[in-house]
Each structure stands twice: as structure tokens, then as C-alpha cells.
């Protein structure tokens, strides 16, 4: 019983530290991530960068519930030559993919890449930068 109480106390201690660390992480992430101002729209990517003359894809994805999902999607897309950068947004269940200038990936290919990574696509939006 004492050991259980110790684990619980450790958990509470750790959760407190974690909450504090996360607040700082968010602050740092906003500074560390690749930030781009385009037409007054601030685009922040977790990996890679935004090509100012490329295409920005916003893909609504089903089944993303954890960081392993996010990591899988990032790994799959960052292998593609056309991809300049990527962000996985678990809060909004979407993935933002920045394509390089003069490159494109069709909706069918995007959908296949997600399916082959284990996820489903419900919507794809494109924005020419």
C-alpha cells in the first residue's frame, strides 16, 4: 500500500512538472518551428519548411489518435521528394503538407499514401502560395 501511495505521489509530482514543461515547450516550439509569414497568414511547420512558391495542402485525416500516428505520417510524407515540410495537428485532426515549387501530388496519391500508412482521408484542400 505504501508503495502504491509513493507511485501516486510520484505521478502527481511528475504531472506537475510535465504541465510546467509543456507550457514552456509550447512557447519554445512557437519560436523554434519554421515560421513563415505569407499574405498575413502565419504558417508553422513541425518538420521542414514552407516553399513560398509552392502549394499548401490541408488534409483532414481520420484515425489520428496519438503521437505514433503523427510520427508515421510525417515519416511517410517526408520521404516524398515533392514535400518541403509537414505539420500534424492532432487537436484539429488534420495534416498540413507544404509542397516544393513546381511540384504537385494528386489527391489520389495523397489518399493512397495515407491509406498505406494506416489512416483515412476525409477531405483535401489546396492553396497555391
Partner 1 sequence: MLIKIFLLSILLFNSVCFARPVSYPEGWTFMTKNDSEMNSAHLHYSPTFNKSVGYKIEYSKSKEYTVHTIHYNHLIKRWNKKHSQANFYTKKGIGVLHSDYRSYESKLKYAGYFGVSADWETRKYFTSYENKIFSAGKIDSYFSQKVKIGIAPYIGNYGDIHTWLMFEASHSPEKKDSITYSPIVRFFYKTHLMEIGMNNNKKLSFNYIKRF
Query: What angle (nearest 5°) sits at the alpha carbon of residue 114, between those of residues 112 and 119?
Result: 125
117 lies in the site for partner 1, by CB under 8 A: yes
* Size of the chain in residues: 129
Q: Of the candidates 14, 20, 30, 125, which one interacts with partner 1 according to CB under 8 A?
A: 14
35 lies in the site for partner 1, by CB under 8 A: no
What is the distance, to the nearest Å, from the Cα of residue 102 to the centroid of all Cα atoms in its chain? Answer: 23
103 lies in the site for partner 1, by CB under 8 A: no
Q: Of the candidates 59, 69, 84, 124, which one interacts with partner 1 according to CB under 8 A?
A: 69
6 lies in the site for partner 1, by CB under 8 A: yes
109 lies in the site for partner 1, by CB under 8 A: no
Residues paired with 89 in a beta bridge: 94
Identify which range of 35-43, 49-57, 68-76, 98-106 contacts partner 1 by CB under 8 A: 68-76
Q: Of the candidates 88, 96, 97, 99, which one interacts with partner 1 according to CB under 8 A?
A: 88
- For the residues of 36-70, what is the DSSP string, one character each? EEETTEEEEESEE---TTSEEEEEEEES--SHHHH
63 lies in the site for partner 1, by CB under 8 A: yes
Q: Of the candidates 89, 111, 126, 129, which one interacts with partner 1 according to CB under 8 A?
A: 89
Give the 3-state DSSP-derived string for 10-27, with helices as H, strands as E and coil as C: HHHHHHHHHHHHHHHHHH
Amino acid at each position: 500500500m505504501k508503495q502504491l501511495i509513493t507511485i501516486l505521489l510520484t505521478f502527481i509530482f511528475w504531472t506537475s512538472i510535465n504541465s510546467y514543461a509543456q507550457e514552456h515547450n509550447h512557447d519554445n516550439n512557437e519560436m523554434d518551428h519554421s515560421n513563415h509569414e505569407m499574405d498575413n497568414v502565419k504558417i508553422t511547420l513541425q518538420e521542414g519548411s514552407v516553399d513560398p512558391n509552392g502549394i499548401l495542402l490541408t488534409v483532414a485525416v481520420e484515425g489520428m489518435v496519438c503521437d505514433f500516428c503523427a510520427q508515421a505520417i510525417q515519416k511517410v510524407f517526408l520521404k516524398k521528394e515533392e514535400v518541403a515540410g509537414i505539420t500534424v495537428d492532432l487537436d484539429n485532426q488534420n495534416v498540413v503538407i507544404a509542397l516544393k515549387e513546381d511540384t504537385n501530388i494528386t489527391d489520389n496519391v495523397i489518399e493512397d499514401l495515407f491509406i498505406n500508412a494506416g489512416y483515412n482521408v476525409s477531405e483535401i484542400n489546396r492553396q497555391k502560395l
